[in-house]
Structure 1
Amino acid sequence: MAEGDDNDRRPKGIECLKQHIVTHKVEVTLWATRLAAIIFTFAYLVPLFWNPASAYYRILLANAATSALRLHQRLPTMQISVQFLTQLFKEDSCHYLLYSLIFLYVSPNILIILPVFLFSLIHFASYSLTLLDLLGQNSWWGARLLISLVEFQSRSILRLIAFSEILVMPLTLFMSFFGRSGLLTIVFYYHFLTLRYASQRNPHTRLMFGDLRVAAENFANKPTTPSFLQSAILSGIATICRMAPTVPHSQ
């Protein structure tokens, strides 16, 4: 009860928000970089103030800044050791820092920025609610409604992010074939996708691979599916399974 009473007596309003910003500089900066990624995404889709290509690269740079700050939070002390590098590549923020670097010099495509936008939207909405609470429980009810909609759909959004991560792989193959990206983009993105598949904190990419495999097998096993198409689908599934990294059952 004492803790609840203290929270009730905590000052609200602009002064409280200012104090929070001073004491939580990194978190507020993360909120701002995610907001920047969201704004530049809309600028990419509706190019009124920025060139779409410029907005595209600003999205990736904002995401890189967010990922670097988040990575600094998770691993504040840098070390030169195998153990540190192993832990580094387990971090989701490291994955998306690499994602920005992979596509920074690739021709713009809306599918590439989709997972960045959706991740930014989820985390921006979550922290915005914290900031609104500092201003008062009844402030900005319209914004609170939008935030509640995002949080209510967060699981679906995470699944869409995972699906888009997978779709970007054939996209990189297509873009490389038409000279819109280099061959190294395919190699680097394959390694990014294996990191996402093995992620300990976010299993949605792994689960989406499983869902797609079940859907493909069900389609292949239909009596109406031609035998050549069935063989191609099952062969593709077997190839992808061999390329997938081993993930401990504890994850």
Structure 2
Amino acid sequence: MAEGDESDRRPKGVAALKQHVVSHKVEVTLWATRLAAIVFTFAYILPLFWNPAGAYYRILLANAATSALRLHQRLPTLTISLQFLMQLFKEDSCHYLLYSLIFLYSSPNILIVLPVFLFSLIHFASYSLTLLDLLGQNAWWGARLLISLVEFQSRSILRLIAFSEILVMPLTLIMSFFGRSGLLTIVVYYHFLTLRYASQRNPHTRLMFSDLRVAAENFANKPGTPSFLRSAVLSGIATISRMAPAVPHSQ
């Protein structure tokens, strides 16, 4: 029997959805925590029902729960070894668990929650399509349209996430200068950014650094750029390049 015929005979509707929820508890929980992060982000931007600060911390807690569950999926067996720790810090979910912990006790800022919201939006939309398929191909066509828009723009969204991750670095410097976060935040966030730069599964942060470097070099090499500004830009590029972690060529 053809694969299409088998998919047509699969149970559809609420019963199929209930069966899926029972048999995929972790995936559905991840879907719910990502939905929570999205809802709390809107609550932070439009504080009609929640205090903005409270909504901000709920976003980070929802992201921490998502990251911990995803990390459990990726590394179900906990071992105390150097190899396990090296593998742990290669996981994107570990990076964003660390991200939540970094900013959980800092002052709220929309730029901090932006990458969390966008990551949640992409994965929430993707799994929502799976749930809608269980209800039937014609169920919730409006939601399907919105999901299609998110998936169509997924590459641009991932680039925006990478750009916001980079922008948060100078933000932590400014926040520390005004006493809105500690000096340790700068150090730990720098290590977070190096982990994102060396990510094996998501190269967008690394690619965004490359794009920004090309843009900065083009600006510095323009005939109309003052010499002192050109020197400052090129010096900044050289400094940031020295701080970048080594990435294996196989990536």
TM range (shorter): over 0.9
Query: How far apart in 1 are the matches of 2:14 and 2:173?
Result: 51
Corresponding residue for residue 57 of structure 1: 57
- Tell me which residue corresponds to 2:182: 182
Q: What's the offset of the Cα at 1:202?
A: 0.1
Aligned to 1:153: 153
SS of structure 2 residue aligned to 1:122:
helix
TM superposition score normalised by structure 2: 0.99
Alignment partners' CA distance in 2, 1:250 and 1:164: 26
Aligned to 1:195: 195
Per-residue CA distance 1:126-154 (angstroms, 9 max, x = gap): 00000000000000000000000000000
Q: Which residue of 2 aligns with 1:208?
A: 208
* Residue identity in the other structure for 1:12: K
- Read off the aligned partner of 1:228 and give its amino acid letter: F
CA positional deviation for 1:2: 3.6
- Counting only pairs closer than 5 Å after superposition, residues 1-251 of structure 1 correspond to structure 2 as 1-251=1-251
Q: How many residues align?
A: 251
- Cα deviation, residue 6, structure 1: 1.8
* 1:171 shift after superposition: 0.1
Counterpart Cα distance in 1 of 2:91 and 2:141? 35
Deviations 1:98-140 (A, max 9, x none): 0000000000000000000000000000000000000000000
Task: Classify the secondary structure of the residue corresponding to 1:33.
Answer: helix
With the length of structure 1 as denominator, give the TM-score of the two structures. Answer: 0.99
Distance 1:48 1:209 in 2: 37
Give SS of 1:12's match: coil
| CA root-mean-square deviation | 0.5
Distance 1:11 1:152 in 2: 29
How far the C-alpha of 1:7 sits from its partner, in A, is 1.3
**Structure 1 gaps, min length 5:** none
Distance in 2, matches of 1:6 and 1:125, equals: 25
Identify unmatched segments of 5+ residues in structure 2.
none
SS at match of 2:72: helix
Could you tell me which amino acid in structure 1 is paired with residue 159 of structure 2?
Answer: R
Query: 2-side partners of 1:53 and 1:243: how far apart?
Result: 33
Letter of the structure 2 residue corresponding to residue 191 of structure 1: H
Counting aligned pairs with the same residue, the percent is 90
Q: Name the CA distance, whole Å, in 1 between partners of 2:207 and 2:98.
A: 22
Distance in structure 2 (CA, Å) of the matches to 1:225 and 1:59:
42
Letter in 2 for 1:147: I
The residue type equivalent to 1:156 in the other structure is S
Q: In the alignment, residue 147 of structure 2 is paired with which amino acid?
A: I
Deviation digits for residues 143-169 of structure 1 (CA, Å, limit 9, x no counterpart): 000000000000000000000000000
Give distance in 1, aligned partners of 2:227 and 2:126: 49
SS of 1:79 mapped into structure 2 = coil
TM superposition outliers: structure 1 runs of 4+ over 4 Å: none
Give me the whole-angstrom Cα distance separating, in 2, the residues matched to 1:36 and 1:249. Answer: 38
Give the letter for the 2:95 counterpart.
H
Distance across 2 between alignment mates of 1:3 and 1:79: 41
